[in-house]
Amino acid sequence: MGWQSATDKAPRIIFISSSGNGTPMFIRPYPPLSFCFTGLGWLVLASILGLAILIGLIRGTPLPPWVRMLHVHAVLVGGVAQIMLGGFLLFISPPHAADRKEPDSHPLTFWALNSGLAGMLVGFWLHQSLVVAVTGLVVMAACCSVIYTLWNRARRMWTSSVNQAWYYALSLLGLVGGSACGEILAFGFMPESSGHVRLAHIHLVVLGFVLLAIIGMMHHLLPIIWSRPFLSTRLTQTALVLMPLGVAVLIGGFLNSSVPVEITAGAMLFTAGILWTGNLLGTWRVSTHTGSAASDHLLVSTFFLLFTIILGVLVGANSLSSPPRLPYGTLHRVAYTHMTFVGFIVNAIMGACSYFIPITLAADRVPNTKKRGPYRDQLNVIMNRWSTLQIATLSLGTMGLGLLAALTWNVPLTSLYIHVATWTSLGLLMTGLVLFSVKLTSIIAKKPDTLRTAQTSTGELKLTA
């Protein structure tokens, strides 16, 4: 995965075709940003549902299990997977020679993914496994369509080296494998092994796809943001090899119900995380980058990744004794999983969006590359606004969920401490999400036609507000 300097090579979301009279025209139906924005919408809706589930647990009136299924699949399929597939389409742009043959427009895939997900949610609501299975096939076909497009592009882009391809191929393979396991569950195949298949379904998607895809994205993106390569290529490559190996061993441990194997996998992941984090921090310290929402979110997400790996090892060690040394109930599981989902995944998604969306909107709205820079800079200013408050509230809210779960070991759910911790955590989390949503709305509303062209003393054209 080679490093490249920060240039104006924005993701190509504009497909230039020719009209009947030979005049070029711009066509922008369903660019990859449609996947990203729609995915963010699903995340917001799923977050509201998640708040209701947590409040129900605290009040002692838990919501039905199918509500949790709606929450989980809206987050993972509608939110995380859709954003990442859109990000892959932005990252792996069509080669110049193929622009006319391969537009960055996927309307059928877009609608298949979202309508299929809606059908899955209806199936969970109605307890109709067949509906879930059939609509799940539609979602799986949409994902495979994007993967096929990405594979064709990658073969043309990376013909000289496989270093950039194998990591992303593994992550996409995890998505396909996890989706296949979900179909096995929905159709009722292998009922005697449904527990193991469910574990494989969850962890292939979360670890095999999401974790590896985010690490690969960070490996490509952070050197560009910091305008310098990683300090140690050897440390980076070691971490990148250990990470998927640890994921494979961990899934094997889950499937065999072997806690020692799971702890061994946790040690491998922790080693990879330490190498990865150390290399990131070392590179960040010697860079001249002054900080941005993108890099800060990505660095914080790395901290949460390392933290959740440690927690996972402790959870495994806790289960070695019978009964466990510390009680581990539903609320503790919620806190642990959301350390990963909110602390690691949501922070990483916000970081990637903070970098890619301004560049992509500028490339989409300003065809002239000379005039694109000032407009992109204005969008970056908006995305970096309130970034410290945004990251702090999101991170503290996530840590608050852990504190909330820890309090239940000493005080009852009816305690004032529990209610204060609950509402404080939820308020912090919603503050971070609202700030990010407001900034996204602002940059979408910031049109380039609000700028005017002025001429400097040197005769250079400059865009001013």
> What is the share, in percent, of the chain residues with pLDDT greater than 90?
13
For tokens 């990010």, the residue is: 436
Least confident of 14-28, 72-86, 307-321, 359-373: 14-28
Amino acid in position 272 = A
Give tens-digit pLDDT for 239-272. Answer: 888 988 988 898 888 878 788 888 888 899 999 9
Nearest to 1 by CA among 284, 237, 355, 287: 237
Q: Does the pLDDT value for residue 171 go beyond 60? A: yes
Residue 369 has pLDDT above 80, yes or no: no
Residue 120: its pLDDT value, please?
Answer: 93
CA distance 135 to 120: 6
Question: What does the pLDDT read at residue 163?
Answer: 55
Has residue 410 got a pLDDT over 50? yes
A 10 A CB-CB count for 365 gives 18
Lowest mean pLDDT among 94-98, 179-183, 301-305: 94-98
Task: Give Cα separations from 346 to 128, 228, 366, 436 (angstroms).
Answer: 30, 25, 29, 11
Confidence of residue 26 (pLDDT cuts 50, 70, 90): very low
Q: Which contacts of 326-333 are long-range, i.e. CB under 8 A and separated by 24 or more positions?
A: 326/409, 327/409, 329/408, 330/57, 330/62, 331/57, 331/58, 331/404, 331/405, 331/408, 332/405, 332/408
pLDDT band at 116 (very low <50, low <70, confident <90, very high): very high
Confidence at 449, pLDDT banded by 50, 70, 90: low
Higher pLDDT, 238 or 324: 238
* CA separation for the pair 208, 168 (Å, rounded): 10
Please report, for the chain, the start and end positions of each structural domain, with discontinuous segments joined by +: 289-446
Claim: this prediction has a pTM higher than 0.85: no
The number of beta carbons lying within 10 Å of the beta carbon of residue 341 is: 23
For the cut 90, the answer to whether the pLDDT of residue 123 exceeds it is yes
Residue pair 199/262 in contact (Cβ under 8 Å)? The answer is no
Percent of the chain with pLDDT over 70: 84
The residue among 146, 177, 178, 174 whose CA lies nearest residue 72 is 178
- What does pLDDT average to over the chain? 79
97: pLDDT confidence band, cut at 50, 70 and 90?
very low
Compute the distance between CA of residue 451 and CA of residue 175 in angstroms, rounded to an integer: 43
Query: Which of these, 78, 85, 86, 84, lies nearest to 45 by C-alpha position?
Result: 78
Residue 131's pLDDT is what?
Answer: 93
**Confidence tier at 416 by pLDDT (50, 70, 90):** confident
pLDDT at 17 over 50: no
What's the rounded Cα separation, in Å, for the pair 242 and 236?
10
Tell me: pLDDT of 15 over 90.
Answer: no
pLDDT at 118 over 90: yes
The b-or-e profile of 151-164 (16+ CB within 10 A means b, else e) is: eebbeeebeeeeeb
> Between 293-318 and 212-226, two packed helices, what is the crossing angle to 10 degrees?
150
In this predicted structure, the answer to whether residue 53 has a pLDDT above a threshold of 80 is yes
Q: What is the mean pLDDT of residues 195-215?
A: 86
